[in-house]
Amino acid sequence: MYSSAAAAGSPRRDFISVTLGPEEAAGVGGYNNSKAWRRRSCWRKWKQLSRLQRSVILFLFVFLAVCGVISYTSMGETWKSITNKSLDDQRTEQEIPRLKLANPAVLPAPQKADANHRDYPELSLQPPKPPRVRRGPSNLQIKAPWRDIRLKTRHDTMRAVEELVEADKVEKTEKSIISWRGAVIEPDQSTEPPSSKITELEKPSPVEPEDPKEPVPINERQLAVIEAFRHAWKGYKDFAWGHDELKPLSKSYSEWFGLGLTLIDALDTMWILGLKEEFEEARKWVANDLVFDKNVDVNLFESTIRILGGLLSTYHLSGDSLFLEKAKDIGNRLMPAFKTPSKIPYSDVNIGRGTAHPPRWTSDSTVAEVTSIQLEFRELSRLTGDEKFRKAVDEVMKHVHILSGKNDGLVPMFINTNSGQFTHLGVYTLGARADSYYEYLLKQWIQGGKKENELLEDYMRAIEGVKKHLLQRSEPKKLTFVGELAHGHFSAKMDHLVCFLPGTLALGAHNGLAADHMKLAETLIETCYQMYAQVETGLSPEIVHFNLHAQKGHKDVEIKPADRHNLLRPETVESLFYMYRFTGDKKYQDWGWEILQNFNRYTRVPTGGYTSINNVQNPSNPEPRDKMESFFLGETLKYMFLLFSDDIDLINLDKYVFNTEAHPLPIWVPA
Ligand code: DMJ
């Protein structure tokens, strides 16, 4: 509306005056809203304007129209990209869980709400979500719980891939209609927001979907391991049920701690081998008959690695809380061992009375024993939220880390529980009494997510120490072996126990440590194999001495009469397993197969069970010792089974770390 003054022909003013007419302003008078009236009235008012006014209005109109068109075009693009991005975001959010499942994370680190995080900032302690509860392996296809997860994952991944292919098609169609003056812009020429580029990179390629993960069927050699296990188990069940060790020849048993050691050590092997019935039966025994409230002295190290380790790994594999409860019970009962002046634990604990003491003849503990209980107690803390377990064992490692008396990272064999100092200085070995100290340096570092640098430093330094002081080559085959150092004198003696080392070195290399560790592992596993191959029965003795000088008619390996027994130990097959996992070289499987056949030939007792033997050099009479060690079922047969498997997800080494008794424990992921 224009002012009534303008309507009355008042002098032209070069500005627009917009005022309301009196009637309209008052809202009174006849209301005529007819189209014709409105048109006429507008036209009249337009004519009443000056040319300048009309030009200004027209200019403004055109200007606003042009702005409108431009902003519509660019808003459209922005809107489109926002819409696309939000679709992408939605898709990514949906994909992430699936893709995470495709590579299922290792078990998340459980946390405890009120845990003191200051000591271990990288961890937060929380009770874990137990794995899906399934009380046993289902069948010989080894449908252990992680297999179901894997299959589900594959299904989900494939679905994710299909969806992405569809989404990609839609996106391409959308992009191909983006045009500017009729020119079609090819999608790859278009400028996309960086976020959608990243999304593109994260998509699994529809052309090369991730590895198909069908269940890997059990092969002949694995079946042979299952058969061996069943035979051993038959002997244990018939003659030693619920006792520590089978005496297969006398069809009886021996007691060490009186805690069903073989049964507990074998639980997770049965799970892994898929022996459901045997597992269920053993579980019943654990539920009804395993009692720790006993006036009995146990060795802290042995009961930790076999019982605590066995219960914890079985808990993880089966998800059955019974095993965690039992683990807590034994863990608590072992704690008095740490009540020493130095906090270096005593070797023996009475689990019924809650008292601990060193061996009768000394106040020393063995270095390997006090430094190879950490994986288990740390895991127990993580699961229970009770830090006392971890604190106790971490204290030992911190103490040993700064202790003097090492030789380029190599440790003596004894440590005093009063003074906390190394004793019997000057003797260095990778064998008995020191072996698993080195193994646990690396494995704790891996378990904790590779953050505890002191452990890594000590490990790396020690391997340099091994290279500098303990490596030599034998004659005539020039086998590299790990000898011992006693007060500056090199001894060409190597325990079978040292054969854990190639596997540990390979595990370190797999976790990013020096590549020359892998080379050394390859050389050393050949030596360990020769410790079997050069012997008459094809079985290694407990200790060998290597020839440093070529002598006619002499092999590399010499065996002293006192050392020619074989206890069915696992270390070589353990290392073969790691070597095969990391290299895929079938020769390692073949070597393991030879060893299994020789165990069957010389140590198998027809009525059930396997026995350690006294003389690996006499195939016609290997002199059975009448004892089946619990680690034959806990370790040796388990590593054999895993060695013969081509399924890297059967105890995936990026998710689990084996304790020194072959019980797999989860590698922690940051919370
Ligand atoms: C097992 O109890 C463990 O492997 C330990 O670390 C060494 N001795 C036996 C097997 O030989």
- Find the catalytic residue in 148, 156, 163, 302: 302
Cα 548 to averaged position of ligand 1 atoms, centre (Å) = 28
pLDDT at res. 584 = 98
- pLDDT one-digit tens code per residue, 271-295: 999 999 999 999 999 999 999 999 9
In terms of Cα–Cα distance, which of 411, 510, 416 is closest to 458?
A: 411
Please state the rounded mean pLDDT for residues 418-424. 98
- Asked whether residue 149 carries a pLDDT value surpassing 60, the answer given is no
CA angle 634, 636, 638 (to 5 degrees): 65
Please state the rounded mean pLDDT for residues 64-79. 50
- Asked whether residue 602 carries a pLDDT value surpassing 50, the answer given is yes
Quick one: pLDDT band at residue 122, thresholds 50, 70, 90?
A: very low
- pLDDT one-digit tens code per residue, 611-658: 999 999 999 999 999 999 999 999 999 999 999 999 999 999 999 999
Task: Map out the domains of the chain as residue ranges.
Answer: 222-258+366-663
**117 DSSP 8-state letter:** -
Sheet holding 493-495, edge to edge: 493-495, 543-546, 557-558
The verdict on whether 77 is a catalytic residue reads no
Instruction: Tell whether ligand 1 has an atom less than 6 A from the beta carbon of residue 569.
Output: yes
Comparing 408 with 188, which gets the higher pLDDT?
Answer: 408
**Which residue minimizes the CA distance to atom 11 of ligand 1?**
569
- Find the catalytic residue in 379, 571, 574, 626: 571
User: Looking at the DSSP assignment, which residues form a beta bridge with residue 423?
Assistant: 414
Cα 661 to averaged position of ligand 1 atoms, centre (Å) = 6
CATH fold of 222-258+366-663, please? Answer: Glycosyltransferase (1.50.10)
Q: Is 141 helix (H, G, I), strand (E, B) or coil?
A: coil
Determine contact, residues 85/196, Cβ cutoff 8 Å: yes
pLDDT at res. 179 = 25
Residue bearing tokens 């597992």: 279
pLDDT at res. 211 = 57
Cα 541 to averaged position of ligand 1 atoms, centre (Å) = 15
- Asked whether residue 176 carries a pLDDT value surpassing 60, the answer given is no
- Find the catalytic residue in 88, 394, 542, 629: 542
CA–CA distance, 369 with 614 (Å, rounded to integer): 26
pLDDT at res. 630 = 99
Interhelix angle 453-465/435-447, rounded to 10 degrees, is 150
Instruction: Tell whether ligand 1 has an atom less than 6 A from the beta carbon of residue 638.
Output: no
- Asked whether residue 150 carries a pLDDT value surpassing 60, the answer given is no
**Which residue minimizes the CA distance to atom 8 of ligand 1?**
497
**Which residue minimizes the CA distance to atom 1 of ligand 1?**
661
The verdict on whether 457 is a catalytic residue reads no
Q: Is 433 helix (H, G, I), strand (E, B) or coil?
A: coil
Instruction: Tell whether ligand 1 has an atom less than 6 A from the beta carbon of residue 570.
Output: yes
Instruction: Tell whether ligand 1 has an atom less than 6 A from the beta carbon of residue 556.
Output: no
- Asked whether residue 170 carries a pLDDT value surpassing 60, the answer given is no
- pLDDT one-digit tens code per residue, 108-118: 443 333 333 33
Instruction: Tell whether ligand 1 has an atom less than 6 A from the beta carbon of residue 304.
Output: no
The verdict on whether 542 is a catalytic residue reads yes
Cα 660 to averaged position of ligand 1 atoms, centre (Å) = 6
State how far the alpha carbon of 65 is from the alpha carbons of 15, 68, 74, 123, in Å.
22, 5, 15, 62
Instruction: Tell whether ligand 1 has an atom less than 6 A from the beta carbon of residue 631.
Output: yes
The answer, yes or no, to whether the previous bond of 193 is cis (omega within 30 of 0) is: no
- Find the catalytic residue in 268, 320, 435, 484: 435
pLDDT at res. 611 = 99
| 2-6, 128-132, 368-372, 652-656: range with lowest mean pLDDT | 2-6
**Which residue minimizes the CA distance to atom 2 of ligand 1?**
661
Instruction: Tell whether ligand 1 has an atom less than 6 A from the beta carbon of residue 433.
Output: no
DSSP 333-386: HHGGGG-SSSSPPPSEEETTTTEEE--TT-SEEEHHHHTSSHHHHHHHHHHH--
The verdict on whether 227 is a catalytic residue reads no
Instruction: Tell whether ligand 1 has an atom less than 6 A from the beta carbon of residue 503.
Output: no
Quick one: pLDDT band at residue 120, thresholds 50, 70, 90?
A: very low
Q: Is 660 annotated as a binding residue?
A: yes
- Asked whether residue 138 carries a pLDDT value surpassing 90, the answer given is no
Cα 224 to averaged position of ligand 1 atoms, centre (Å) = 23
- pLDDT one-digit tens code per residue, 297-341: 999 999 999 999 999 999 999 999 999 999 999 999 999 999 999
Quick one: pLDDT band at residue 166, thresholds 50, 70, 90?
A: very low
- Asked whether residue 255 carries a pLDDT value surpassing 50, the answer given is yes
